[in-house]
C-alpha cells in the first residue's frame, strides 16, 4: 500500500516567523523540516 507524503507546511512556517510570531514560527520550521526525513525513513506516523 503506497502512502502519500504529508504536507510539511515549511513555507507557511517561514511566513509565520517573518510576519507574526517568532517562537511559534521557529518551532514550526523545526518540525516542518523533519517531515521529509521521517517519511523517507519510513516513519509515516512520525511524518504526520
The residues spanned by each domain of the chain are: 10-47
Inter-residue contact 8 to 35 (CB < 8 Å): yes
Per-residue pLDDT of the chain (48 residues; tens, 9 = 90+): 678 888 889 999 999 999 988 898 899 999 999 998 999 898 998 888
In this structure, the number of other CB atoms found within 10 A of the CB of residue 31 comes to: 13
Please state, in angstroms and rounded to a whole number, the distance separating the CA atoms of residues 48 and 39.
9
Cβ-in-10-Å burial (0-12, 13-18, 19+) of 13 comes to buried
Amino acid at each position: 500500500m503506497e502512502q502519500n507524503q504529508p504536507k510539511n507546511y515549511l513555507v507557511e512556517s517561514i511566513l509565520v516567523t517573518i510576519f507574526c510570531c517568532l517562537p511559534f514560527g521557529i518551532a514550526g520550521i523545526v518540525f516542518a523540516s523533519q517531515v521529509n526525513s521521517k517519511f523517507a525513513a519510513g516513519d509515516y506516523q512520525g511524518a504526520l
